[in-house]
């Protein structure tokens, strides 16, 4: 990824909610805000496998205490390195493409801006921006109920927002790819979630009647989001700015395969429907990795919404 250093970034829709709390684990979140939940053994966040173990343990712990043990409901944990999270000012210094080239947080803003511009052009009058691209760690409240890290990245139609726990994401990427950069992984995930936003705008979600099985509507919805991600990637690799720069200078099939595999490892994503104030835990099928890559390529090769009509496809 290479951003035009002179491009202006718009941070208006990208928010960081900081850590845990917020009532995501039920009652007591407010009073526990900012408190630290000690983890026996005094573990610390670290790189490599240690970090992954800490994250897994954190998830186990939060799952265990999530049932309402008094006083442990805050969702805060000393296991995370908080230095990267400065609450709402996480994106404050993201002003130009140069910042995006230097900083993964600012790169997230730049990718959101690129998705915004691409889909605004593509949909015209039908376009509405996402309400928020919200990053958090631990837990957060959404228009689809409370969400925790283990849900993975997701789009909530109820508040037209994308939610991303970047700590969990980083840990999985580290395990998968041996480094936090991951190349195309995060842009792919963001583009896929943005694809669900487009489906929301186009009322495609109402076409989903069947949830189970490899040719179900739920799978078709997921593969279409991959196809939409491919449409954006086509533009991002070919559209030149005023200075002749393209956003993504090179994208190989291996990059795409890697991104699809990593997204699956992150826990995939789920479209969270509003059900009694709870995030639904039912599992969604996304189709095989091979199908996902193929539909991404369909969007990439065609650049066409019509070509991404997975609901009309005989063969997925
Ligand atoms: Zn999805």
| C-alpha 10 – ligand 1 centre gap (Å) | 25
What is the per-residue pLDDT for 88? 67
Alpha-helical regions (H) of 79-103: 97-102
| C-alpha 193 – ligand 1 centre gap (Å) | 6
CA distance 51 to 53: 5
| 171: Cα separation from own chain's centroid | 14
| C-alpha 204 – ligand 1 centre gap (Å) | 13
Q: What share of the chain is helix, strand, coil (3-state, %, to 5)?
A: 45, 10, 45
Tokens of 108: 């997230």
| C-alpha 149 – ligand 1 centre gap (Å) | 16
| C-alpha 243 – ligand 1 centre gap (Å) | 34
CA distance 17 to 32: 16
% of the chain exceeding 70 in pLDDT: 66
| C-alpha 93 – ligand 1 centre gap (Å) | 30
Tokens of 307: 């070509």
What is the per-residue pLDDT for 18? 85
What is the per-residue pLDDT for 137? 87
What is the per-residue pLDDT for 179? 42
pLDDT surpassing 90 at residue 196: yes
Model confidence band, residue 129 (pLDDT cutoffs 50, 70, 90): very high
Instruction: Tell me the angle at which helices 217-238 and 289-302 cross, rounded to the nearest 10 degrees.
Output: 50
Most confident of 43-57, 120-134, 157-171, 241-255: 120-134
Integer angstrom CA distances of residue 315 from 215, 229, 257, 309? 9, 20, 20, 11
| C-alpha 242 – ligand 1 centre gap (Å) | 33
Three-class secondary structure of residue 54 per DSSP: helix
Tokens of 103: 């900083």
| C-alpha 161 – ligand 1 centre gap (Å) | 13
Residue 278 main-chain phi, psi, to 5 deg = -115, 145
> Average pLDDT, whole number, for the chain?
74
CA distance 25 to 6: 42
Q: What is the mean pLDDT of residues 50-57?
A: 41
What is this structure's pTM? 0.74
Which residue from 147, 142, 82, 118 is spatially nearest to 238, judged by alpha carbons?
118
Which residue from 147, 188, 102, 185 is spatially nearest to 270, judged by alpha carbons?
147
pLDDT surpassing 70 at residue 95: yes
Q: Please check whether residue 7 is in contact with residue 96, taking contact to mean a CB–CB distance below 8 angstroms.
A: yes
CA distance 51 to 152: 17
pLDDT surpassing 60 at residue 47: no
| C-alpha 32 – ligand 1 centre gap (Å) | 33
| C-alpha 269 – ligand 1 centre gap (Å) | 5
| C-alpha 197 – ligand 1 centre gap (Å) | 10
Model confidence band, residue 157 (pLDDT cutoffs 50, 70, 90): very high
pLDDT surpassing 80 at residue 287: no
| C-alpha 42 – ligand 1 centre gap (Å) | 37
| C-alpha 308 – ligand 1 centre gap (Å) | 14
What is the per-residue pLDDT for 294? 92
What is the per-residue pLDDT for 259? 83
| C-alpha 21 – ligand 1 centre gap (Å) | 26
CA distance 266 to 276: 26
| C-alpha 288 – ligand 1 centre gap (Å) | 13
Q: What is the mean pLDDT of residues 263-279?
A: 49
CA distance 243 to 257: 30
| C-alpha 36 – ligand 1 centre gap (Å) | 33
Integer angstrom CA distances of residue 229 from 90, 118, 185, 250, 311? 26, 11, 12, 16, 17
| C-alpha 78 – ligand 1 centre gap (Å) | 31
Integer angstrom CA distances of residue 162 from 13, 53, 197, 271? 10, 26, 8, 10
Model confidence band, residue 14 (pLDDT cutoffs 50, 70, 90): very high
Q: Please check whether residue 193 is in contact with residue 115, taking contact to mean a CB–CB distance below 8 angstroms.
A: no
Model confidence band, residue 229 (pLDDT cutoffs 50, 70, 90): very high
| C-alpha 79 – ligand 1 centre gap (Å) | 29
């Amino acid at each position: 990824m290479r951003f035009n250093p002179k491009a202006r970034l718009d941070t208006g829709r990208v928010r960081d909610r900081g850590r845990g709390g917020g009532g995501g684990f039920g009652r007591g979140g407010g009073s526990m805000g900012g408190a630290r939940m000690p983890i026996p053994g005094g573990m610390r966040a670290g790189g490599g496998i240690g970090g992954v173990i800490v994250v897994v343990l954190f998830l186990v712990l939060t799952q265990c205490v999530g049932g309402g043990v008094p006083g442990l409901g805050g969702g805060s944990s000393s296991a995370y390195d908080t230095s990267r999270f400065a609450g709402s000012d996480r994106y404050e210094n993201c002003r130009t493409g140069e910042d995006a080239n230097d900083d993964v947080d600012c790169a997230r803003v730049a990718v959101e801006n690129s998705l915004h511009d691409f889909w605004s052009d593509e949909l015209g009058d039908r376009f509405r921006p996402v309400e928020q691209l919200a990053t958090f760690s631990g837990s957060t409240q959404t228009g689809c109920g409370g969400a925790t890290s283990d849900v993975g990245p997701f789009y909530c139609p109820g508040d037209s927002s994308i939610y991303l726990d970047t700590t969990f994401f980083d840990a999985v990427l580290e395990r998968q790819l041996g480094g936090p950069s991951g190349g195309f992984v995060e842009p792919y995930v963001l583009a896929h979630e943005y694809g669900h936003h487009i489906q929301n705008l186009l009322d495609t979600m109402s076409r989903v009647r069947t949830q189970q099985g490899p040719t179900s509507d739920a799978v078709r919805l997921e593969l279409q989001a991959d196809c939409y991600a491919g449409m954006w990637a086509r533009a991002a690799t070919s559209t030149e700015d005023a200075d002749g720069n393209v956003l993504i200078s090179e994208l190989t099939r291996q990059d795409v395969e890697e991104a699809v595999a990593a997204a699956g490892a992150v826990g995939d994503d789920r479209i969270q429907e509003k059900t009694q104030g709870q995030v639904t835990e039912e599992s969604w099928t996304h189709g095989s990795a091979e199908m996902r890559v193929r539909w991404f390529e369909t969007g990439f090769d065609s650049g066409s919404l019509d070509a991404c009509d997975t609901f009309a496809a005989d063969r997925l």
